[in-house]
Chain A
């Protein structure tokens, strides 16, 4: 199979607090025949802070990256991060308007067409690779494990912008989890908010909202929560101790990136997938998996 080539926009988190998302995303892409060509010298998309200042500034910060990607002569840019995704997509929509396009061009001082397609890595795995091709490459099914698929807010919302999956009941991660041999029961909190970027300034918001997500995952007896967003991961994993203190719980719920789930099934080791980089250890779930694999082998 000829490798599909995409312009790749990692986003700032991938080089920092989401380092394991980056490692697993690249490894999984490679194994699935997806060639990720990193956009040279990409810059921050502006994210939430920029759109609280001005929509044109928000558009311009993201548009610089669209312009750089367009120079690569590839038709699609892919990013693992939902916040980058929505910023890049918003800039692309903005560029469809002639007046705004001119404004953006002047601000970034680069040629810009606004024609490059923008997709999440999840969408590329789910639609461009597909479940059939994914299933065919599974080396070690994640039998016996139960995951709570947590999509968060903006992977599928607002639907006019996201143009992917279902806004109210997304199923792409559910199906990917099933394709690699694990269980993904109905998870009623799959699109609820984790508290987003309020961890620093309004911690109680994150504690209140993430507590609900963690409790909901426990209620369906999940071995781990699966996310596709660095910020959701930060709130649920890195801040889990803060959330526990707030809700009077002693939860030790591992939080995995979807690429770590897929990578493990494709034959990578937990260490190769950076599963040892989380705040909440994955020892219990990995031991459970090993036991299942042994039983299966007998």
Chain B
């Protein structure tokens, strides 16, 4: 069995996760139900119940550097089945947010996709699907990812070659700006 030194318990980290998620991590009694139902566990480096355990003992670095938190699909199975009624998916979400802040994102591709998506929303107010794919491919230097899907969509009116920008695109951009400003002021 692995032992953890008391000195390595980061209580501040536990408090941050609890505050931001609204969940009490000490409630978890390690039954493993979340992991049993987790469809992504095959791809995780650390199964979700162990993420919860590492959290309880404040292992900030290991948790925030894990691949698991970025491979979670937020399918909500763990949250639905937790006998302690912990919103586990919410905890995983908060851990992703914290790993962004800490600069410890383990899955750059996943993050690049999310960022390309949000950049598109910021520019056009809505998602411009082709733009997201192109930007993602450029960022990850894999120019032909999913290029084979193009012919399945073209000619069916299912993919647009140019973005459709909404009237309120400026208003949406303002939301991003105010949000960034607010977070800067906080801290």
Contact of B76 among A18, A154, A205, A241 (CB under 8 A): A154
* 1/0 contact string of A1-25 vs chain B (CB within 8 Å): 0000000000011011111100000
Complex Cα spacing A200 to B174, Å: 28
Within 8 A of B (CB), among A41-66: 41-44, 46-57, 60-61, 64
Please tell me if the beta carbons of B73 and A41 are within 8 angstroms of each other in the complex. no
Nearest-CB residue, chain B, relative to A198: B73
Most buried by A among B89, B158, B164, B182: B158
Contacts A16-B127, A53-B100, A53-B118 given: A41-B110 contact, CB under 8 Å? no
Q: How far is the CB of B159 from chain A (nearest CB, A)?
A: 6
Contacts A19-B157, A48-B74 given: A158-B125 contact, CB under 8 Å? no
A interface residue count range (under 10 / 10 to 19 / 20 to 34 / 35 or more): 35 or more
* 1/0 contact string of A262-278 vs chain B (CB within 8 Å): 00000000000000110
Please tell me if the beta carbons of A200 and B172 are within 8 angstroms of each other in the complex. no
Contacts A200-B136, A201-B112 given: A193-B93 contact, CB under 8 Å? no
Contacts A54-B97, A167-B80 given: A44-B121 contact, CB under 8 Å? yes
- Residues of chain B within 8 A (CB-CB) of A46 are 118, 121
- Residues of chain B within 8 A (CB-CB) of A131 are none
Contacts A41-B166, A46-B121, A193-B40 given: A201-B110 contact, CB under 8 Å? yes
B interface residue count range (under 10 / 10 to 19 / 20 to 34 / 35 or more): 35 or more
Please tell me if the beta carbons of B73 and A52 are within 8 angstroms of each other in the complex. no
Please tell me if the beta carbons of B97 and A208 are within 8 angstroms of each other in the complex. no
Say whether B133 faces chain A, with CB atoms less than 8 Å apart: yes
Please tell me if the beta carbons of A157 and B75 are within 8 angstroms of each other in the complex. yes
Say whether B83 faces chain A, with CB atoms less than 8 Å apart: no
Say whether A109 faces chain B, with CB atoms less than 8 Å apart: yes
Say whether B107 faces chain A, with CB atoms less than 8 Å apart: yes
Please tell me if the beta carbons of A193 and B39 are within 8 angstroms of each other in the complex. yes
Number of A-B contacts defined by CB within 8 Å: 168
**SS of B interface (majority):** helix
Nearest-CB residue, chain A, relative to B79: A158
- Residues of chain B within 8 A (CB-CB) of A208 are 42-43
Contacts A54-B183, A192-B39, A209-B39 given: A202-B125 contact, CB under 8 Å? no
Complex Cα spacing A51 to B118, Å: 11
Say whether A279 faces chain B, with CB atoms less than 8 Å apart: yes
Say whether B60 faces chain A, with CB atoms less than 8 Å apart: no
Complex Cα spacing A204 to B67, Å: 15
Please tell me if the beta carbons of B109 and A202 are within 8 angstroms of each other in the complex. yes
Please tell me if the beta carbons of B115 and A17 are within 8 angstroms of each other in the complex. no
Nearest-CB residue, chain B, relative to A192: B39
Please tell me if the beta carbons of A238 and B183 are within 8 angstroms of each other in the complex. no
* 1/0 contact string of A221-247 vs chain B (CB within 8 Å): 000000000000000001101000000
Most buried by B among A49, A51, A191, A197: A49
- Residues of chain A within 8 A (CB-CB) of B79 are 157-158
Please tell me if the beta carbons of A53 and B182 are within 8 angstroms of each other in the complex. no
Complex Cα spacing A52 to B93, Å: 6
Nearest-CB residue, chain B, relative to A57: B179
Say whether B184 faces chain A, with CB atoms less than 8 Å apart: no
Say whether B178 faces chain A, with CB atoms less than 8 Å apart: yes
Please tell me if the beta carbons of A238 and B153 are within 8 angstroms of each other in the complex. yes
Contact of B113 among A18, A50, A158, A200 (CB under 8 A): A200
Say whether A130 faces chain B, with CB atoms less than 8 Å apart: no
- Residues of chain B within 8 A (CB-CB) of A50 are 118, 121
Complex Cα spacing A199 to B117, Å: 13
Please tell me if the beta carbons of A12 and B126 are within 8 angstroms of each other in the complex. yes
The segment from B26-34, B47-55, B144-152 found at the interface with A is B144-152
Please tell me if the beta carbons of A202 and B77 are within 8 angstroms of each other in the complex. no
Contact of A107 among B73, B158, B178 (CB under 8 A): B178
Can you offer 25 A-B residue contacts whose CB atoms are under 8 A?
Answer: A15-B164, A17-B158, A19-B156, A19-B157, A19-B158, A20-B158, A44-B121, A46-B118, A49-B113, A50-B118, A51-B93, A52-B93, A52-B100, A52-B114, A53-B97, A61-B121, A61-B175, A64-B175, A108-B175, A153-B75, A154-B75, A198-B71, A198-B73, A200-B113, A277-B157
3 closest Cβ pairs, A-B complex: A49-B114, A12-B127, A157-B76
Chain B residues within CB distance 8 Å of chain A: 20, 39-40, 42-43, 71, 73-77, 79-80, 87, 89, 93, 96-97, 100, 107, 109-115, 117-118, 121, 125-127, 129, 133, 136, 140, 145-146, 148-149, 152-153, 156-160, 164, 166-169, 171-172, 174-176, 178-179, 182-183
